């Protein structure tokens, strides 16, 4: 049977850093208020001339280098993003062009913060079906472009960045299982409504407390689902790489797994919520600093607008 495994990882963050202290001069907030509720200290923000495809390119080049392949080895590109450069073409097609390759399928997936897990599951199934041998899977966001910077309860959360993995066909399972869900009944709890006036910017609207409660319950359930599907115990998980939305959600998921926070990859303090980019960013950092090693069992899980949610269990 054909399986897929992660051959390499990469990430990229814009140079501009927006600290909580800087936000104090923009909205009615404080560093202490932000950190105590979210765990965030700072986030990276794209430059005026920097776009999602630029972030995706840098993360991809790093993943390609760490995998020991060339761009021409790639036969599938999937980009998870909520913030494409344009309505069309897709970021994936633009990334393909920037990598100097052509011909292979390239498309975006939009599942907001769950996007990378959705993209990884899709690429895994392409490889299992024999339709691809070497997939580039990217989560990339310029989320600051859809933020209302006057909304003190919302603007503090978001950041920009990109993470990528190269997924290759293997005779040994790397992606052990993936689990994806969605429920459109919750659409208006977290969304970007279209404004009737084209001159008014479309920005994120979120019912924070309600989203938090649903997220915690949903992620609890998907942990149970993932373990049951694989006949595994909580103690079998070496690392949790969660979507970096809020430190309290991360802590709740760790508690569900009876896991010490030392085994949870946390980047929300320095990155904020980078939506689809957060999991691959966190994964790459933990691989680079050698916390996550070959053979480790890693659980990724995410929850996002839609609502969408999902998990991926991998042997790195």
CATH of residue 293's domain is 3.40.47.10
Considering the domain architecture, whether residues 153 and 140 belong to the same structural domain is answered as yes
State residue 198's pLDDT score: 77
Q: Residue 197's pLDDT is what? A: 81
Residue 44 falls in the annotated catalytic set: no
Residues 99, 60 share a domain: yes
Q: Which long-range contacts (CB under 8 A, 24 or more apart) does 146-151 make?
A: 146/82, 146/83, 146/192, 146/201, 146/202, 146/203, 146/204, 147/203, 147/204, 148/201, 148/203, 148/204, 149/26, 149/27, 150/27, 151/27, 151/203, 151/204
Q: Which of 20, 154, 246, 273 is catalytic?
A: 273
Residues 133 and 165 in one domain: yes
134 catalytically annotated: no
Cα-to-chain-centroid distance, residue 220:
19
Strand intervals (E) in 52-117: 76-80, 106-109
> CB within 8 A of 100, min separation 6: which ones?
71
pLDDT < 50 regions, the chain: none
d(CA 59, CA 281): 9
Give the pLDDT score at 218: 94
Give phi and psi for 57, each to the nearest 5: -65, -50
Q: Which residues neighbour 220 within 8 Å (Cβ) at sequence distance 6 or greater? A: 252, 253, 256
For the chain, first and last CA: distance in Å? 18
Instruction: Say whether both 165 and 187 belong to one domain.
Output: no
Set 134, 243, 246, 271: catalytic member = 243
Question: In Å, how far are 97, 100, 129, 315 from 4, measured between CA atoms?
Answer: 25, 25, 11, 10
Structurally, how many domains does the chain consist of? 2
Whether residue 243 lies in the annotated active site: yes
The pLDDT of residue 195 is 85
DSSP 147: -
Catalytic residue among 44, 113, 179, 246: 113
162 plus 68 within the same structural domain: yes
Q: Which residues contact 81 (CB under 8 A, 6 or more apart)?
A: 52, 56, 91, 108, 109, 110, 115, 139, 140, 141, 275, 276
Same domain, 138 and 182: no
Where a domain ends, among 152, 170, 188?
A: 170
Residues 29 and 65 both lie in one domain: yes
Give the count of beta carbons closer than 10 Å to the beta carbon of residue 171: 8
Please indicate, yes or no, whether residues 138 and 250 belong to a single structural domain of this protein: no
Same domain as 87, residue 112: yes
Cα distance between residue 278 and residue 271, in whole Å: 8
Are residue 220 and residue 286 in the same domain, yes or no? yes
| 7 & 137 share domain | yes
- Of 170, 198, 232, which one is at a domain's C-terminal end? 170
Please give the helix or strand (H or E) that residue 225 lies within, else none: helix 208-229
Question: What's the predicted TM-score (pTM) here?
Answer: 0.97
Last residue of a domain, one of 170, 194, 226: 170
Q: What pLDDT digit, counting tens, does each position of 13-62 carry?
A: 999 999 999 999 999 999 999 999 999 999 999 999 999 999 999 999 99
Query: In terms of residue numbers, what domain contains 65?
Result: 3-170
Distance between CA atoms of residues 202 and 195, nearest Å: 6
Q: Based on the number of CB atoms within 10 Å of its own CB, is 16 exposed (0-12), middle (13-18) or buried (19 or more)?
A: middle
pLDDT at 191 (0 to 100): 95
């Amino acid at each position: 049977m054909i399986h897929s495994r992660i051959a390499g990882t990469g990430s990229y963050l814009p140079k501009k850093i927006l600290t909580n202290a800087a936000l104090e001069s923009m909205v009615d907030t404080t560093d202490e208020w932000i950190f105590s509720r979210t765990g965030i200290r700072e986030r990276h923000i794209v430059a005026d001339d920097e776009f999602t495809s630029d972030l995706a390119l840098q993360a991809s080049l790093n993943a390609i280098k760490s995998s020991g392949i060339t761009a021409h080895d790639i036969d599938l590109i999937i980009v998870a993003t909520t913030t494409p450069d344009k309505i069309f073409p897709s970021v994936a097609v633009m990334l393909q062009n920037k990598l100097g390759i052509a011909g292979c399928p390239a498309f975006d997936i939009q599942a907001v913060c769950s996007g990378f897990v959705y993209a990884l599951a899709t690429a895994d199934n392409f490889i299992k079906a024999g339709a691809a041998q070497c997939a580039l899977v990217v989560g990339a966001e310029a989320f600051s472009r859809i933020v209302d910077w006057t909304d003190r309860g919302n603007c503090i959360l978001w950041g920009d960045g990109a993470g990528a993995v190269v997924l290759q066909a293997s005779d040994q399972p790397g992606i052990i299982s993936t689990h994806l869900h969605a429920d459109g009944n919750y659409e208006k709890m977290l969304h970007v409504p279209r404004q009737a006036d084209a001159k008014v910017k479309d920005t994120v609207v979120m019912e924070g407390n309600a989203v938090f409660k649903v997220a915690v319950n949903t992620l609890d359930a998907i942990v149970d689902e993932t373990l049951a599907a694989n006949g595994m115990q909580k103690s079998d998980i070496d690392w949790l790489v969660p979507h970096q939305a809020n430190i309290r959600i991360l802590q709740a998921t760790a508690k569900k797994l009876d896991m010490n926070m030392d085994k949870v990859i946390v980047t929300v303090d320095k990155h904020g919520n980078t939506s689809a980019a957060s999991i691959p960013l966190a994964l790459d950092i933990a691989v680079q600093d050698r916390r996550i090693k070959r053979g480790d069992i890693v659980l990724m899980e995410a929850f996002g607008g839609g609502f969408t949610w999902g998990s991926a269990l991998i042997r790195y």
